[in-house]
Amino acid sequence: MTDAFDDAVTRFLREYFEAEPVGATFYGLTDWDSQLPYATAAGFESRDAAARGWLDRFSAWPEPDLSPEQRVDLALLQAHLGQQVATADFAHWRRYPTTYLENGVFELFMHGTRDEATACAAAVERLAQVPAVLHAGRANLDPALVDAEMVRQWAIPNVAAQASFMREGLGVFVAAPSRRGELEVAGDVAASAYDGFAAFLTELAERATGSFVFGEAHYDTVLGVGEGFAFDARTLREMGREQVATLTEQMAALAEEIGGTRDWTSVVNRLRDDHPRSMDEMLHSYREETDRARAFVRTTGLMSIPEGEECAVEPAPLFLRAAAPVASYFPPPSFGPPSRGTFNVPFTPDGASAEEQEARLRSNSYFEIPGVTAHEAYPGHHLHFASAQRTNALRQVLHSTYMVEGWGLYTEQMMGQHGFYLTKEAKLGQLSMRLFRAGRIVVDTSLHLGEMDIDEATTFMAERCGFPVPTAHREVLRYCSYPTQASSYLTGALEIERMARSWTESGKGSLASFHDALTSSGKLPLGVAARAIGLAQ
């Protein structure tokens, strides 16, 4: 039966990639590079039907016939498919216009593992399919489900940004003038289709009467079925509120030590005056801090550093700079030729004004750089992905944002507890990032329980987490469009902290051995990860 299970997993993954060709590209596979997903109602419904069929099959699989590793994989499949099937009735494809904006071009170029000619040819083919995808979106979106304000405030601006990038930004992907011209012509066609879609959405907003609210039952399903947590959305919200109160008090006390006032927001704003004076200086600072973080992990023995890993610290690619104003990480592709991971330093787009550059530099001030580096590079996302890259194909593909982002946030605090932050200011920077994630839990759960509206959520993030109102508003709109994702950071970190205590207090081993066991198990839902490392049956 073990061979039969492996064969079933292989077939499942093949179907997965056929249905999600952009994801296949992201993971380093090339068979589906010229395709976009089927965006018709029939396409979405067939994917839901396939998930139900696979869930039935894997739910009935005789577990005693499997090896221990296969039992973990079976639990992973059941969690992934169980969540997908139980939340399918929310029908995001009838509710969220942004479902239809992904065109798969970025994924073709992000790893640098395809030659320019190959990537460009596939991009042209994908861009040619954009009008058909958007036509399907027009047919699928249901005015009774679509939220009018989300269309106006979130979807239409995102469509406009996509159209603008298709017209003005594709040239950064290629060097050869002939290929650049071919790509830009294809981009113009796609941009015109996005313009038409924006016009349709403007009209749709006048008729829309629906809601973005995910709902309590769906939220609980993600937490319980998908992640294996023992708490529901309302309990999670209380956890978030407790964390906001605790972190606010910790920050007030630390701010008083640093600046003589418990008004931590004023101290943080003053600390942001001490920042790199140029993009090159910011890059240099992040590179120095990454080297220090790697050396700290090695010296303290907090985690094994896989042989051959490499984290390049580079300016964010031109095509990412407008869309992602914060630091980010590109993992190496799960399949295909080995390549290094990349820590993207958030440069401003070319042509940015002096004011825009100053704002970007202030948001990457010296007291915040250590925490960001721990999260993105060592021992955060980079070391996690470097360790997880040695797992099997299924665990490369099915991943949990509660695990991935939870690990990143966990490492910020864990590194501080072991002496990585050299100043009180750096510790305050780390706490401010954790408070931001605590606020996300409160806001995300409240929004999707239908007990907080967009304006109330914006006010909360501005007043309790120290965000400028425009930034808080953009954050909240994103939470409305990606239910449960915003809460994953601190929720995952708190669960990993609980698991770490259980590991060490039960005598299973050192904290370092816990880190190695957890990250080398993959990017599993944390309930499945606990089983994989022997903390649950």
Has residue 336 got a pLDDT over 80? no
Angle at 318 between CA 317 and CA 323, to 5 degrees: 95
Q: What is the pLDDT of residue 339?
A: 67
Task: Please state, in angstroms and rounded to a whole number, the distance separating the CA atoms of residues 328 and 320.
Answer: 10
Average pLDDT, the chain: 95
Give 111's pLDDT tier (boundaries 50, 70, 90): confident
Task: Please state, in angstroms and rounded to a whole number, the distance separating the CA atoms of residues 168 and 159.
Answer: 14
Q: How is residue 440 written in tokens?
A: 């996300």
Dihedral over alpha carbons 88, 93, 97, 98 (to 10 degrees) = 70
* Total Cβ atoms within 10 A of residue 422: 10
Percent of the chain with pLDDT over 90: 89
480-500 pLDDT, tens digit each: 999 999 999 999 999 999 999
Low-confidence winner among 8-12, 107-111, 128-132, 472-476 (lowest mean pLDDT): 107-111
Q: What is the pLDDT of residue 33?
A: 96
The answer to whether 104 and 34 are in contact (CB under 8 A) is no
* Total Cβ atoms within 10 A of residue 265: 16
Collapsing DSSP states into helix, strand and coil, what is residue 330? strand
Kindly give the pairing relationship between strand 328-330 and strand 311-315.
unpaired
423 Cβ contact partners less than 8 Å away, ≥ 6 residues apart: 367
Query: In the block, which residue shows the tokens 């079976």?
Result: 74
Q: How is residue 248 written in tokens?
A: 């606010």
DSSP 8-state code for residue 335: S
Give 108's pLDDT tier (boundaries 50, 70, 90): very high
Has residue 338 got a pLDDT over 70? no
344-383 pLDDT, tens digit each: 999 998 888 999 999 999 999 999 999 999 999 999 999 9
- Average pLDDT for residues 166-173, to the nearest whole number? 90
